[in-house]
Chain A
Amino acid sequence: MKYLKNVVTLQYDSELCTGCGMCLDVCPHRVFVRSDGKVAIHDRDACMECGACARNCPFGAITVKQGVGCAAAVISSFFTGGEPGCG
């Protein structure tokens, strides 16, 4: 199952990456692969912006706007003005 193409906010900076592999462990959708002792984004559209990789990268090599992909949360945030989140 694939979601929309070219929407996610995932960014990876290989300059900062040390190849520790933590992102490979925590990603639930195999977005990253090992590449030349570091990692590479292999399947960008599979990213669901859960933010696990960015939070667990000790070197700040990954950024992503973390959020829940939930329409009900987006609707309620539209009315309450907050960030979309689970109720």
Chain B
Amino acid sequence: MAKSCCGGSADTTQIVNRTSCCGGTAGGTKTSACGGTSGGNTTSCGGDAKDLSVDSCSEKRRFSAPWVTGKIATPAGLVPQIATKLTFKDTLGSWKCRWSIGRMNYKVEPGLYAVGTPDDNAPVLVTANYKMTFDRLREKLGGLNLWIVVLDTDGVNVWCAAGKGTFGTEELVDRIGAVRLDLVVKHRTLILPQLGAVGVAAHEVRKQTGFRVIYGTVRASDIKDFLANGMKATVEMRTVKFTIRDRIVLTPLELVGAFKPMLLAFGVVFIWNAIGIGHYGGLDLAGIAGAVLVGAVLTPALLPWVPGRAFAFKGGLLGLVWAIGFLLLCGLPFAPVFGWLKSIAYLLLLPSVSSFLTMNYTGSSTYTSLSGVDREMKFAVPMMLFAAAGALILFITGDFIRLFGGMII
């Protein structure tokens, strides 16, 4: 049990009394050994998110990670030195996250790390403990000598964690205290990713720790130039973009998200067919699958070129184009393979599906505001529900007309 939570190589004599605290799920109440909420130098390794103590479990994990290449001695103790070249496993890990495989538990142990052979004058970067974030940063730091403070953001990237407050003033202040950064470097400057500003108040950090926060660039790829520039970011480095590559790389996540409700719907349709009422097949599947692809992949990819501003509108518009195309493919208007009831149903349903999925893509986008999303949803969601309900009634009506020997209308 102890092994599974503290990493295989952990010294058993040290962790033997922590078996109940290392795994987050063990036991209802914490034993006294687990301490828990105290922020001091306790030796707890409890499941508490705010456990900042430098305990042996997390220390072992920090030094035994595959990307650690050595150790650097500092007045505050040994610091793991990390690779700036990614391995195949790192690349595979990123790819898996894009497809939502193990994405919620892809983490780096929080704490201090060294890149190259930094001294007490070396710059200090701060980042989140999402493994993909950590990789995107370190792969850009080849040839540099600096320190990295990894905050505990629960495996979430900088921007999202800052929005939640986990990449925040409190965690930063506590973490630089826990790693004893004041002993490691002589200067008092921290370089934060610019998007971390959402959760961190620079003036508060200075007040509480004496460290001055400088917001670096939005993208890790600009860090080298930023440092070479005397820690000055250009307007370009400060601006968030949303390129076609950025947009497409996030679409698998939307597809995976759409997959579950789709399976559920197909299950229902399968039963509907099996009891002899429904008559749905591969063609219907193609229509729906097309609408999903249009809403979750095509519209996001073509986002700036699709007319309109509201995401639900953009998705609905391309969904309507797809619905019309689908009906033409099905032989309308001269040699239709199904009747007009079903045709109208698809004209209502397919744009709604696309619209909903593109609306959900607001969460992946880099420029939508909550007020804006609120406003478009107030209009779009009732429209979608109305259209989908209408489509459902038409489908069922058509099915029953057919069931009772009526013409396929």
Interface assignment of A79: CB less than 8 Å from any CB of chain B: no
* A28–B160 alpha-carbon span in the complex (Å): 14
Which residues of chain A have C-beta atoms less than 8 A from B304's C-beta? 1
A86 touches B373 (CB 8 A): no
Produce 1/0 per residue, A1-26, CB < 8 A to B. Answer: 11111011100000000000010011
Query: How would you classify the secondary structure of chain B's contact residues: helix, strand, loop or mixed?
Result: helix
Q: Decide yes or no: A8 and B371 within 8 Å by CB, A55-B200, A68-B163, A71-B360 being known contacts.
A: yes
A3 touches B369 (CB 8 A): yes
B366 touches A28 (CB 8 A): yes
A48 touches B367 (CB 8 A): yes
Query: How would you classify the secondary structure of chain A's contact residues: helix, strand, loop or mixed?
Result: loop
Which residues of chain A have C-beta atoms less than 8 A from B376's C-beta? 4
B367 touches A29 (CB 8 A): yes
A48 touches B239 (CB 8 A): no
Tell which of B159, B163, B239, B371 touches A29, judged by Cβ atoms closer than 8 Å. Answer: B239
Chain A min CB distance to B250 (Å): 12
A7 touches B238 (CB 8 A): no
The stretch that binds A, out of B36-44, B68-76, B191-199, B328-336, is B191-199
* A52–B213 alpha-carbon span in the complex (Å): 14
Q: Decide yes or no: A56 and B201 within 8 Å by CB, A1-B303, A69-B365 being known contacts.
A: yes
Question: How many chain-B residues does the 8 Å CB contact rule pick out?
Answer: 45
Chain B min CB distance to A24 (Å): 8
Chain B min CB distance to A52 (Å): 4
Q: Considering the complex, which residues of chain B in the window 195-244 have a beta carbon less than 8 Å from any beta carbon of chain A?
A: 195, 197-203, 215, 218, 233, 235, 238-240, 242
Interface assignment of B326: CB less than 8 Å from any CB of chain A: no
Chain B min CB distance to A72 (Å): 5
Interface assignment of B180: CB less than 8 Å from any CB of chain A: no
B371 touches A30 (CB 8 A): no
Tell which of B164, B215, B309, B377 touches A86, judged by Cβ atoms closer than 8 Å. Answer: B164
Interface assignment of A50: CB less than 8 Å from any CB of chain B: yes
Which residues of chain B have C-beta atoms less than 8 A from A47's C-beta? 369
B163 touches A7 (CB 8 A): no
A3 touches B372 (CB 8 A): yes
Tell which of A27, A30, A50, A72 touches B163, judged by Cβ atoms closer than 8 Å. Answer: A50
B362 touches A69 (CB 8 A): yes
Q: Considering the complex, which residues of chain B in the window 149-163 have a beta carbon less than 8 Å from any beta carbon of chain A?
A: 156, 159-160, 162-163
* A73–B359 alpha-carbon span in the complex (Å): 11
Interface assignment of B322: CB less than 8 Å from any CB of chain A: no
A49 touches B309 (CB 8 A): no
Chain A min CB distance to B313 (Å): 10
Which residues of chain A have C-beta atoms less than 8 A from B163's C-beta? 50-51, 66, 68, 85-86
Top 4 A-B pairs, shortest CB-CB distance: A67-B370, A69-B368, A70-B363, A26-B197
